[in-house]
A and B are shown apart, each in its own frame.
Chain A
Amino acid sequence: MIGIYLCDDDDKVRHQIQTALEWKIVAEDYDMKIACSAASAQELLDGVKNGKQGIYFLDVDLKDPQWDGFLLGRELRRRDPHGILVYITSYKDLAWRTFQYHLEAFDYLVKGPEPMGPAAVQCLEEIHARLLDKCQAPEGTFTLRTGDMERHVPLCDILYFETASTPHHILLHTFGSRMDFLGSLNELEDQLGDAFIRVHRSYLVSADKITAVDLKHNKLLIGEHECLLSRVGKAKLRRKMAGSP
């Protein structure tokens, strides 16, 4: 059962959304229920159960000096990393991309002259579809932190880790990105286990992503990337190849 949480200081809007969602849940027999309908951020936070995935409909413009929509979203994200955030706003000029990138917000509803119900119901439908989709493909992720922001990178996307020229910084390469974060290759090597091989002092590569090995020039090719290969790394690589069928 997934809990749905509403937070809006406008009782009418909240009521519209709540009624529409309840009706939809019964009609479609979703495994969800309205867990909390709050008029203030604090009331909502008191009602949230830690560590359980929920769906949140939040007003962007909370009339509260301590909480605005973004900060509330960040707090919820901290408590519920996989929660689904939907924002309710009265104007279209919401800094929506910021919400999307930094909070992974799912969608937003615009308050207008029309009742909010249909839009909320449509949104719930999309959420339901996405949850079903997610269930089918569970996969390991690697979490990296820059400041107070977390990124989740699927392990299967990672090509290799490399030490950066700035001390204590590590570069993570995937098929379509390069990320820079604070860390140490030794710790990563321990943390990630057998799927990754330390082929050089400065390189930790995903074993199944290696496309070619150039023993003559002590290099590894991973797609279009070139990695260095040390003597010890070579031995490790041989062992790995001998070990796997």
Chain B
Amino acid sequence: MPLLQNLLTTFLDTLTGHLALAIYLLAVTDERVMARRLKKLPLLLLSPFLATLLSAALGAVPKLMMFHYFIISFAVLFMCSLWVRHTWGFGFWRAFAATCMAAVFQVAAATVSWMAYWAISPDNASRFAVAAGLHLGCSIMGSLLLYKLRFGAWFRLLLDSQTPVWRTALLLFGLEAAMEVFLQLLNGVQAQFLAFYYLLVAVMAVLMAAVVIYRARQLDAARIIQAQQDTIARQQLYEQDLEDLRREMRAFCHDYKNLLAGLSQQAVTGDLEDLHHTLSQLDNGFDLGLGAKLQSLTPMGNLQIPQVRSLLLSKLTVMEKKAVECRLEALYPVDNVAMDIWDYVRCLGILTDNAVEAALDTQRPWVEILFLSHDGQVSFRVSNPYKTVIEPGNMWNHGWSTKGPGRGLGLASYQRILERYPNASSCTSWDKGVFIQELTVEDRR
């Protein structure tokens, strides 16, 4: 009977730990739609169950006593990573990194509840309940604090960065292991030093969070500098274009005078037919030369968000290189989008890349891009011809592409970005060989 009770206690203990971990995971991954993740929570319950069994099995090997706790912790970490991988659709290292991060906070909260376990009332059952309640309470408070500090957003940034995720994951695993050691040390701390001990744990947890945020900020700054450099480079190209245009204008001005002289000559001789002919030639000549150039510059001037203009300039350059005919329209100045500008640029990048790639399969590739901005609402529309077969049932799935497996992560991540913006709506249509993607962002504030 005591064995059974022991097992039950271990189970409830690990279960509480798992729930706390799940709470922190939500905060760490900056989850907005919690219900969707919590739906898969029952699957996580498998982990405390297995951990309890493992614990019982390890109990039979007394030599391992020292490492008992660590083996189980590692097993739990591994199982939770698998759960995160399944629930969030992350890769393994990403899931592992997120789990380690959440575990650091969970373990820190656990030390507090352990203290409660030893300090409060002698009655075994209520003692346990209080400790578990305290643990979950601390976790919820901590999680809310992390949300408030936007820790998750920074952490996601770190996971999305260029550095290999496995390195971040291993670093976090190291931190997590250190935290676990701390928890074990609790057994050896004398009563009068407990307050210092908790202070130390709290400082450690805060420091670890600070390290992550610092690292993420550093990456963010580097990214912004890189983007600014790109922007400057492209702006220089743009200015070069403007300079060419100015030169052409001067040449045109010169020709124009000659043409006018010729025209007045024709008018004097009264040759209306000829006059007409010359005039329409002049009109067409303007449309083909300067007119076309001016037309391509007007919309670019209307894209007043540097990141967006920079992206479009680079995509237009790529299209020109690949001989894709491109039309760009921006009727009104686009100066504000009610969404994180980097996310917006990522969306535009994905949609434009897809359009160019699909258009290249066709005989006469073209891409058409329209921006329309008014009353705080910005709509973006890109269309292109396509040749491949559209599979509406599969198109949105992770990794689907007409080019075979391992490609086509674009649309899936596009979807994932938009999930965080209830003020954005997308529309996709395909008809008569033309594929159209639209993204409308409203300003609802």
Asked whether, in the complex, the Cβ of B427 is within 8 Å of the Cβ of A180, the reply is yes
Binds B, one of A5-13, A34-42, A79-87, A218-226: A218-226
- Residues 259-276 (chain B) with a chain A CB within 8 angstroms: 276
Nearest CB in chain B to that of A177: its residue: B429
- Residues 163-216 (chain A) with a chain B CB within 8 angstroms: 165-169, 173-174, 176-182
Q: Which residues of B contact A179 (CB under 8 A)?
A: 425, 427-429
| A169-B429 contact, Cβ under 8 Å, with A97-B370, A102-B372, A147-B440 | no
Interface string of B277-314 (1 = CB under 8 A from A): 00110010001000110110011000000000000000
**A113 at interface (Cβ–Cβ under 8 A)?**
yes
Asked whether, in the complex, the Cβ of A93 is within 8 Å of the Cβ of B391, the reply is no
Asked whether, in the complex, the Cβ of A178 is within 8 Å of the Cβ of B391, the reply is no
B435 to chain A, nearest CB (A): 10
**B219 at interface (Cβ–Cβ under 8 A)?**
no
Nearest CB in chain B to that of A145: its residue: B425
Nearest CB in chain A to that of B444: its residue: A147
Q: Which residues of B contact A173 (CB under 8 A)?
A: 392
How far is B327's CA from A178's CA once the two chains are assembled, in angstroms?
24
Asked whether, in the complex, the Cβ of B368 is within 8 Å of the Cβ of A97, the reply is yes
Asked whether, in the complex, the Cβ of B425 is within 8 Å of the Cβ of A180, the reply is yes
How far is B419's CA from A176's CA once the two chains are assembled, in angstroms?
23
**A95 at interface (Cβ–Cβ under 8 A)?**
yes
Interface string of A83-126 (1 = CB under 8 A from B): 00000000111011110011000000000110000000000000
CB < 8 Å: which of A95, A169, A177 contacts B431? A177
Total residues of chain A contacting the partner, CB 8 A? 35
How far is B292's CA from A185's CA once the two chains are assembled, in angstroms?
48
CB < 8 Å: which of A92, A97, A169, A226 contacts B422? A169
Asked whether, in the complex, the Cβ of A147 is within 8 Å of the Cβ of B442, the reply is yes
Q: Which residues of A contact B430 (CB under 8 A)?
A: 176-177
Interface string of B404-445 (1 = CB under 8 A from A): 000000000001001101100111111100000000101000
**B135 at interface (Cβ–Cβ under 8 A)?**
no
Asked whether, in the complex, the Cβ of A224 is within 8 Å of the Cβ of B379, the reply is no
A168 to chain B, nearest CB (A): 7
Asked whether, in the complex, the Cβ of A148 is within 8 Å of the Cβ of B375, the reply is yes
Q: Which residues of A contact B330 (CB under 8 A)?
A: 95
Q: Which residues of B contact A169 (CB under 8 A)?
A: 422, 425
How far is B416's CA from A165's CA once the two chains are assembled, in angstroms?
9
B358 to chain A, nearest CB (A): 15
CB < 8 Å: which of B283, B294, B392, B419 contacts A112? B283
B48 to chain A, nearest CB (A): 29
**B393 at interface (Cβ–Cβ under 8 A)?**
yes
Asked whether, in the complex, the Cβ of B377 is within 8 Å of the Cβ of A93, the reply is no
CB < 8 Å: which of B276, B280, B291 contacts A92? B291
CB < 8 Å: which of B292, B368, B379 contacts A147? B379
Nearest CB in chain A to that of B294: its residue: A93
**B381 at interface (Cβ–Cβ under 8 A)?**
yes
Q: Which residues of A contact B375 (CB under 8 A)?
A: 147-148
Asked whether, in the complex, the Cβ of B295 is within 8 Å of the Cβ of A93, the reply is yes
Q: List, sorted by A's number, 5 A–B pairs whose CB atoms are closer than 8 Å.
A: A93-B298, A112-B280, A113-B276, A167-B33, A179-B428
| Chain A contacts to B: CB under 8 angstroms | 70, 91-93, 95-98, 101-102, 112-113, 146-149, 151, 165-169, 173-174, 176-182, 223-226
